[in-house]
Amino acid sequence: MKVVIMAGGKGTRISSVASDIPKPMIKIENKPVLEHEIECLRNQGFTDIILTISHLGNVIMNYFGDGSGASPVTGKPFGVQIEYFIEKEPLGNAGALFRLKDKLTEDFLLLNADAMFDVDFNRFVAYHREKGGLVTLYTHPNSHPYDSGLILADKEGSVEQWLAKEDARPNYYRNRVNAGLHVISPAVLNVEIDTPKIDLDRQLLKPLAGTGKMFCYDSPEYVKDMGTPDRYYAVCEDFKAGRVKGKNLQNKQKAVFLDRDGTINKYVGFLRHIDQFELIEGTEDAVKKINAAGYLAIVITNQPVIARGEVAFEELEEIHNKMETLLGYAGAYLDAIYYCPHHPRKGYEGERPELKFDCECRKPKPGMLIQAAKDFNIDLSQSWMIGDNENDIKAGQAAGCKTALIGDGLFGQDMTVFSLCEFADKFC
């Protein structure tokens, strides 16, 4: 599969870090960002690369050549084949694709060269092929969804809305951000656009929202742009700490599994209305510490109100959107939410019979944790389950996790804490 990397950005916002080299050549641990990207691709078998260049593009060409040489930094072969497309006039971030149509005859990866990433691309491509769409977007939660492009999708991952930064957005939304990594069918380029400068998002991809032809691939792996000096320095710290490579799903992950009611939000009994949802003070900072420590932050919650007919699936989704939005305002994020909608006992007015059975996912059974472990390659023995009651502790123990209880009680937990904040302070 060919890989097109857009490497023509000027990096105006990050010029204080390096103004005399193109943005993709800014160094992380003495090695250009673009070289880190190429290494990630090569190690997974993606070696056929086209670089689109413009601003100071000669610096990139002189460094990498055709990919057959060796790195000036490591002395090791690049191990790839590189072609270049030189933008002699501004073409936008997608105009070059139309000039390359004769080379893009099969599905291809389209990546930005101004981000640091280390992801399992084979897994990404396999998902794209499974869905059979024209485009698959790589999406993830980040620490600033309020100023990022948001992707709204249905349960099957089909993109329903694409909300750019300037677009109006709902009060509450899932923290699902477009990461700038794509798998694209060449059929996307079979459109007539009468402007020389073409915007990838607004003119090519956003119009596919709601057509059933574009999907999102959600992943917690490491993808961060370096558009500002602060974000660049944050990436440098993440790389030094091993969080960049460590988040690749080819590697075993560790997680903090979080109960919801009484752990993240104030306990009100059965939470039936979005207005009842209120974060416990300090939750945002605790989740931020979990994020920063390299743990996946995953909610594991029983929601029998669904089976009892007291809350609709759509209402629960909106409650969880509120949770993600409030956390996002503070720079915290959840990597996934798992909930059990079942309830074994019958006799409730308005109950949903199809959900009234003894399932394998309802805590204290470990089904949700085990499924999360499969989805994200989690080492359960290196993970924590934290909650405020016995069922949380038993579920964690059954899954093979370490456990922490918020509050009082002796259920064989590994530790007892006053709050999620106390847990995060001690272990993150």
List, in order, residues 6 or more apart from 192 with CB less than 8 Å away.
none
414 is catalytic: no
The yes-or-no verdict on residue 347 having pLDDT over 80 is: yes
Model pLDDT for residues 164-175, shown as the tens digit of each residue: 888 899 999 999
The yes-or-no verdict on residue 13 having pLDDT over 80 is: no
Average pLDDT, the chain: 94
Q: Per DSSP, which regions of 174-267 are E strands? A: 177-184, 214-218, 222-225, 255-258
The yes-or-no verdict on residue 200 having pLDDT over 70 is: yes
Q: Where do the H-state alpha helices sit in 104-209?
A: 121-131
Q: Over range 141-161, report the average pLDDT.
A: 94
φ and ψ at 256, to 5 degrees? -110, 110
Spell out the domains of the chain, with CATH numbers in brackets.
2-232 (3.90.550.10), 252-427 (3.40.50.1000)
pLDDT computed for residue 17 by the predictor: 61
The yes-or-no verdict on residue 11 having pLDDT over 80 is: no
Model pLDDT for residues 260-307, shown as the tens digit of each residue: 999 999 999 999 999 999 999 999 999 999 999 999 999 999 999 999
pLDDT computed for residue 192 by the predictor: 86
Burial 233-266 (b: 16+ CB within 10 A, else e): ebbbebbeeebbebbbbeeebbbbbbbbbbbbbe
* Assigned token pair, 73: 């930094």
261 is catalytic: yes
> Which residue among the candidates 118, 261, 388, 392 is catalytic per the annotation?
261
Model pLDDT for residues 295-328, shown as the tens digit of each residue: 999 999 999 999 999 999 999 999 999 999 999 9
> Where is 85: in which H helix or E strand?
strand 81-86
pTM: 0.93
Report the relative pairing of strands 159-163 and 81-86 from DSSP bridges: unpaired
> Which residue among the candidates 238, 259, 335, 392 is catalytic per the annotation?
259
In whole angstroms, what is the distance from residue 310 CA to residue 142 CA? 32
